[in-house]
Structure 1
Amino acid sequence: MATKPDDPNRNQNPHVLVFPYPAQGHMLPLLDLTHQLCLHNLRITILVTPKNLPYLSALLSAHPTAITPLVLPFPPHPSIPAGVENVKDLGNAGNIPIFSALRNLRDPIVDWFHSHEDPPVAIISDFFLGWTMHLARSLSIPRFAFFCSPAFLASVVDFCWNNVDYVKASGDPIPFPDLPRSPVFKEEHLPSLFRRYMKFVSDPEIASLKDSLVANTLSDGCIINSLESLEGEYFGYIKKKMGSNQVFGVGPLSLTGLDPSGRGSSGPETDSDANILRFLDECPDGSVVYVCFGSQKLLTREQMEALASGLEKSMTRFVWVVKAGTTQQLQDGYGLVPEGFEERVAGRGLVVKGWAPQVVVLSHKAVGGFLSHCGWNSVLEGIVGGAMILAWPMEADQFVNEKHLVEHLGMAVKVCEGANSVPDSDVLGRKIAESMGDEGGVKVRARKMTEKALAAVRNGGSSYIDLERLTRELTHLQTTK
């Protein structure tokens, strides 16, 4: 239960600074964690820049006395247009300049800390903000790295940044012998920030990435939006790497956050949301494939045409969410639904332009498959909903996630790969039809993983226990202050 406004012990509760990274896939799970910390009587200051403050609205309404926003101006950067403060407005290529800009918040944070009558006892910051470990050291408080991604990716990323010379000299594909299962990756499938570092290491802005990302497993703890039964061996790897048990698997956080129906929405429920649910209510159980590629990716004209044709040829029911593009992007063919397609599939398929209540859709009994880019939030939401993943990884961490889902867990089927790939519509249609029509292996394993995810967050489950362990650790910092 959250602390009440008149609670005389309020100021004795631990005060923690939470610093999200301004990208939807990073922010949402950390805000879900923040909600849980408030329910455990922690006081939270959340650091955001002005344009990202609206993401806190639901949390501030739910916990008006437990959460205080710290709004600092977004530092200017020559590669970031004025007024842009979130990766969704720049795409994956915007990560490096945003990385660089946010480092300039160090001094304002230090000034705020030293002027605060009751400064925080710890910092919880996104793993893209590894430089905050050095900040925390200078303030003599611990820093906990928050991974919105799985333990498998955390392991791969840590190995890459600590073994740059080995990775460069390994050729292609690259073996990772120190990791459980000794995975092997094509160079083009490594996390995009690391590949960019190897290519442009002489660029000072890019060179600083290494120090920041190596800092994560040097921090005082790692909090991971995943669960032991999904990837226990990689939790073990990170614990061994850190030399401590300060690794907390607390996922899926989408199950323990505020009302999930509006995750990522900019407003209240719309007529479009109601139309989606009416469509699903009329479909047989497990018959619909949900198609969505996250908040950043717009498909090219050729990709849109191939995907539309594949869905049409599959003869499978579907809901396809198409990200809204700018006028110029639409003129260039990005995100443009082929003319006549919606009419041809009417009654069997539904195209949604803009945003859809993804958590609600994936949890609907009519949805049996999820054609996804394999962003980790989407993967977890698919797992929670019981949907088999049809994988089309495109960039960033998505190839690593796809390998884990397809090769290690056997709960996904790869249908395409690459940000610029144009699938053969005949092959794509056949894969969708075969995967959705097969009630064996992959679908069964997906449903079993759903049961494990639900069990993890219940009282006595692994994620429940780790969340309790984390809050005890933070509370102990207050008592030893």
Structure 2
Amino acid sequence: MERGEGAMHVAMFPWLAMGHLLPFFRMSKLLAQKGHKVSFISTPRNIERLPSLPSSLSSFITFVSFPLVPFPGSTRGSECSMDVPYNKQPSLKSAFDLLQKPLTEFLQEESPDWVIYDYAAHWLPPVAAELGISKAFFSIFNAASLCFLGPPSLLLEGVRSTPEDFTVVPPWIPFQSNMAYRYHEVTLVGDKRGKDTNGVSDSARFGYSISESDAVFVHTSTGFEPEWLGLLKDLYRKPVFPTGFLPTGTEDEVEGDKTWVGIKNWLDKQSINSVVYVALGTEASLPPAEFTELAHGLEKSEVPFFWVIRNESQILDGCVERFAGRGMVHVGWVPQVKILSHSSVGGFLTHCGWNSLVEGLGFGRVPILFPVLNEQGLNTRLLEGKGLGVEIPRDEEKGSFDSDSVAHSVRLAMVDDAGESIRAKTKLMMGLFGNMDENSRYVDELVGYMRSK
């Protein structure tokens, strides 16, 4: 594969979170497969965390590494949102903003045709414009979540001033919808109007990133949310392109990994579609009381489960021993795509990060919805509105839940007759979320637009 005539040079600049780095990396690979040169720009440790590049693409993708300045609350190697407590993320954003100088110098020297950037780089569009480089905002969030945020002008004005403002369907959504946060989710989201140490709110970052882009690329498909993509075009008044779901194959994960061998041995012993995979993402930590209710609920469900926990400090005394025979607990990183692709896995109890939902639906795994942070409540509403998945009921205001509601939700998703229609509908999603050829066509359209500019 050679860089042919009409090939472009595209710079990719994601925010410092795994849920952002991975979709940008998958998009980079698709661009490279189509013969375009990609410069993938991030910090040293985040680049190390990416899956290895297929040798066929190594001459098309160059990794460009800029060190991150140490920031309050950081330790050596803190370069990603999962490395710092949630309340220290404003400091991480301020350190990220200091990448403006080396990135500007890189863009001046290399003058790529396009730069594709993330919401946090609100300062990048004017830099690119001055250098005559085309610029696209790539949203790793779905169209429905972006529609809830509203048009860029309102984001910049910061019109929502109380938590209650986030718990109602906004007036610019013209059709029947459930798209709003629950009260307890707004407090979990953290105050998105709060400023970081540079005095910039997340709303402002989104507002500038969207309004000053030449085009907006969205990690979704017309087949899944046509109504929301249509509304987004009306709200943004500029080209909006779905990227498709950027499906990943298991080849993205390290083959022969010892971790996978042990997990596979356990999964191989389970019946087809019988296991619920439990993973709450890289950023969330449950309070001990919630961890206990979730653990007891999984036990009560009598459904085999494989539970991934980020670090040992989260595990309560004696629970691993108690689970023996019914479930398996694993601490640390796992090859999630390999687990989801295993035939014994039938359901996915998830924090509802969009990447995880996309991966689970790509293999037809029934989502058991347990939103924890950020836009995850909105993702839950989107799936519920389409009759996909089972949400674990929680107290509207406090967010509390009990083990019985966990057990009921897991059984409904996995085994009860009442959940049969949800299981059938989820299986149909494989053709939409997991079809590599179909999803690749979205990138073809997007590339056609980029080349025309």
Aligned to 2:209: 216
Where 2:45 maps in the other structure, the secondary structure is: helix
Q: Give me the TM-score of the superposition, normalised by structure 1.
A: 0.84
1:430-441 counterparts in 2 under 5 A?
430-438=408-416, 439-441=419-421
Deviation at 1:164, TM superposition (A): 2.9
Deviation at 1:307, TM superposition (A): 1.8
CA contact (8 A) 2:185 2:372 kept: no
Q: Give the distance between the partners of 2:333 and 2:197, measured in 1 at CA.
A: 38
Aligned to 1:185: 181
Deviation at 1:437, TM superposition (A): 1.4
Aligned to 1:302: 289
Q: Give me the TM-score of the superposition, normalised by structure 2.
A: 0.89
Aligned to 1:361: 339
Q: Give the distance between the partners of 1:405 and 1:163, measured in 2 at CA.
A: 29
Is 1:409 paired with 2:386? yes
15, 25, 38: which one aligns with 1:21: 15
Deviation at 1:281, TM superposition (A): 2.1
Is 1:46 paired with 2:21? no
Aligned to 2:233: 239
CA contact (8 A) 1:191 1:397 kept: no
Letter in 2 for 1:110: T
Q: Give the distance between the partners of 2:105 and 2:225, measured in 1 at CA.
A: 40
Change (3 A) 1:168 1:310: closer
Range with greater deviation from structure 2 (216-225 or 378-387): 216-225
Q: Give the distance between the partners of 2:208 and 2:252, measured in 1 at CA.
A: 32
Is 1:470 paired with 2:408? no
Deviation at 1:452, TM superposition (A): 2.2
244, 259, 272: which one aligns with 1:285: 272
Is 1:336 paired with 2:323? no
1:242-273 Cα shifts (integer Å, max 9, x gaps): 323x3222232133x682344xxxxx644332
1:24-39 counterparts in 2 under 5 A?
24-39=18-33
Letter in 1 for 2:138: F
The number of residue pairs the alignment matches comes to 445
Where 1:253 maps in the other structure, the secondary structure is: coil
Aligned to 2:68: 74
Deviation at 1:197, TM superposition (A): 4.2
Deviation at 1:208, TM superposition (A): 4.8
Where 1:273 maps in the other structure, the secondary structure is: helix
Aligned to 2:325: 347
Letter in 2 for 1:471: V
Aligned to 1:102: 96
Change (3 A) 1:206 1:186: farther
Change (3 A) 1:248 1:171: closer
Range with greater deviation from structure 2 (298-307 or 442-451): 298-307
CA contact (8 A) 2:353 2:376 kept: yes
Letter in 2 for 1:73: P
Letter in 1 for 2:185: H
Letter in 1 for 2:446: L
Q: Give the distance between the partners of 2:349 and 2:20, measured in 1 at CA.
A: 21
Structure 2 unaligned regions, length at least 5? none
Deviation at 1:41, TM superposition (A): 1.0
CA contact (8 A) 1:272 1:352 kept: no
Is 1:442 paired with 2:426? no
Deviation at 1:371, TM superposition (A): 0.7
Where 2:159 maps in the other structure, the secondary structure is: helix
142, 148, 158: which one aligns with 1:156: 148
CA contact (8 A) 2:30 2:440 kept: no
Is 1:426 paired with 2:421? no
Change (3 A) 1:60 1:451: closer
Structure 1 unaligned regions, length at least 5? 263-267
Q: Give the distance between the partners of 1:228 and 1:274, measured in 2 at CA.
A: 38
**Cα RMSD (Å):** 2.8
Aligned to 1:265: none
Where 1:426 maps in the other structure, the secondary structure is: helix
